[in-house]
Amino acid sequence: MSVHSTAIIGPHVKLHPSVAVGPFSIITGDVSIGAGTVLHSHVCIGSEFGIVSIGEKNEFYQGAVIGGTPQDLKYKGEPTKLIIGNNNIFREFCTLNLGTVTGLGQTVIGNDNLLMAYVHVAHDCLFGNNIIVANSTQFAGHVEVQDHVTIGGHCSITQFMRFGRFSYIGASSSLNKDITPFTMAEGRWAKLRATNKIGLERNGFDQNEIRNIHKALRILIKGEGTVSALVSRIKEECKASDSIQELLHFIEASQKGLAR
């Protein structure tokens, strides 16, 4: 274990022997950190409240504050959680909060994600895997981000939103409605604009399936009428596939409405 002499480690902290802790970092409270994780200087993890569980080979850059209490006036010091998986990168001054008992009770970050500088993830957010979030994007509470989502910098995201798999969000967007899988969106307020064809190609989607997804999304984005009517058109006009079923399930499960 490599712990700099200026770092402060609380009595209840559990560090794998291979963890590296840089200068002036503070780890306190009920915190466990897995193998190969690196904390650069001035990183703060944990607090007197809550539980923070961090997996293997994560990297925290200068000034990151991880596992702080929720910015929620209803929070009263309950032992809620922040759970982080493996192989994530948190750049300078990222902030991630614990969950709340009125939400899921935990904030969760999956594996292989990159959160760039000044990204804020509020209480009860759920992040999947292989997500990229650019600088200064801010997530309110209870936001779900599914796998392989890319979000540009300086985006503002309201609570209870969902981002479907392989969606792409343009920089400086403000979002208050659900973003369907496989789409590109941008604007204030953001709207669905196009199919994320490049993202799908890069991730090995078959060209026939990309065309099928594109047809479904054109119906959703360009079509007129209610969402339920457009869903019926997609079912009738597009070839049944796992991707189409995923898209339809996402639409039908939406509580916030779609960014159309």
Using a pLDDT cut of 90, give the percent of the chain over it.
99
pLDDT at residue 141 greater than cutoff 90? yes
| Tens-place pLDDT, residues 51-92 | 999 999 999 999 999 999 999 999 999 999 999 999 999 999
Q: Is residue 260 part of a domain?
A: no
Which CATH number belongs to the domain containing residue 30 in this structure?
2.160.10.10
119 with 37, same domain? yes
59 with 138, same domain? yes
126 with 207, same domain? no
Q: How many domains does the chain have?
A: 2
CA atoms of 45 and 21, how far apart (whole Å): 11
Q: Is residue 192 part of a domain?
A: no
Which CATH number belongs to the domain containing residue 222 in this structure?
1.20.1180.10
CA atoms of 33 and 9, how far apart (whole Å): 12
9 with 134, same domain? yes
Residue 167: Cβ-neighbour burial (10 angstroms; 0-12, 13-18, 19+)? buried
Mean pLDDT, rounded, for 4-26: 98
Model confidence at 24, pLDDT cuts 50, 70, 90, reads very high
* Residue indicated by tokens 């992040």: 127
117 with 10, same domain? yes
Residue where a domain stops, chosen among 145, 168, 183: 145
CA atoms of 165 and 45, how far apart (whole Å): 29
| Tens-place pLDDT, residues 147-189 | 999 999 999 999 999 999 999 999 999 999 999 999 999 999 9
Average pLDDT, the chain: 97
Please name the residues in contact with 49: beta carbons below 8 A apart, sequence gap of 6 or more: 29, 69, 77, 78, 79, 80, 98
Identify the pLDDT of residue 1.
72
pTM: 0.97
**Residues assigned a catalytic role:** 123-124, 141
**Domain limits for position 19:** 2-145
